[in-house]
Amino acid sequence: MERIYIKTIAVDLDDTLNNFTETLQNTTFIFDESYGLTKENFHKYIDKLQNNARDESELLSNEFSYFRYKIHEQCYKSAKAKPDGVEFMQWLKNNNWRVLICTYRDLRRASDCTKKWLKDNNIPYDYLFAVNNKIIFCKVWQVNTLIDNEFNILYGEEHGINVYYSIMDKHKEIQKTAAKGFHKFSEVKKWIQE
């Protein structure tokens, strides 16, 4: 029997359904020669990652970007799911929502570990996408509800996308928008039912 969906929602992974940044900042990464770096560069790059510094290179791929992926992959696997996020995702599926997981992760490399993490944490979904511009993605897929952060908080409203975001310290300086910040997913559940 074909499932009838009542609505579609797009949901981010990192720092939305899990504690990625906390995991990255609080993990002690041990130098290992398999990274192919000098000990000095290893510690310099770890410092950059844990302080959210940008890569200044104009190259799409370089020593730092490859190292960043290797460290992020470890965090993808060890980040803890937010219990209320898991409950919320299960509620969505039980109430016939089509669930699109949209992530900035490079799924060419991280697809298997991402799918495993979702399965291990009992997080249901219909589709998993690597998406750089989630606003455009939502417009194309005709999704008007997005749970995310960053760029999308600022620009969702002008494109007709309702954006909800898990409040973090980095959001303190964001200008007032129509996007709604939440502490618990139960708040989002209430908003999307209105």
Q: Tell me, yes or no, whether 1 lies in a domain.
A: no
Domain co-membership, 123 together with 28: no
What value does the mean pLDDT take over residues 44-54?
Answer: 89
State the pLDDT confidence band at 154, using cuts at 50, 70 and 90.
Answer: confident
Domain co-membership, 132 together with 85: yes
Domain co-membership, 117 together with 177: yes
- Rounded CA separation 11/82 (Å): 13
Identity of the amino acid at 82: K
Total residue count of the chain as it appears in this document: 194
- pLDDT at residue number 56: 75
Domain co-membership, 14 together with 65: no
Q: What is the pTM of this model?
A: 0.88
Q: Out of 78, 94, 112, pick the residue that ends a domain.
A: 78
Which residue would you say has higher pLDDT here, 194 or 134? 134
Q: Tell me, yes or no, whether 188 lies in a domain.
A: yes
- Rounded CA separation 84/112 (Å): 24
State the pLDDT confidence band at 38, using cuts at 50, 70 and 90.
Answer: very high
* pLDDT > 70? residue 81: yes
- Rounded CA separation 152/146 (Å): 8
Owner of token pair 């290893």: 42
Structural domain boundaries enclosing 126: 7-18+81-193
- pLDDT at residue number 137: 94
- pLDDT at residue number 174: 66
Q: Out of 58, 78, 98, pick the residue that ends a domain.
A: 78
Q: Are strands 180-182 and 162-166 parallel, antiparallel or unpaired?
A: parallel
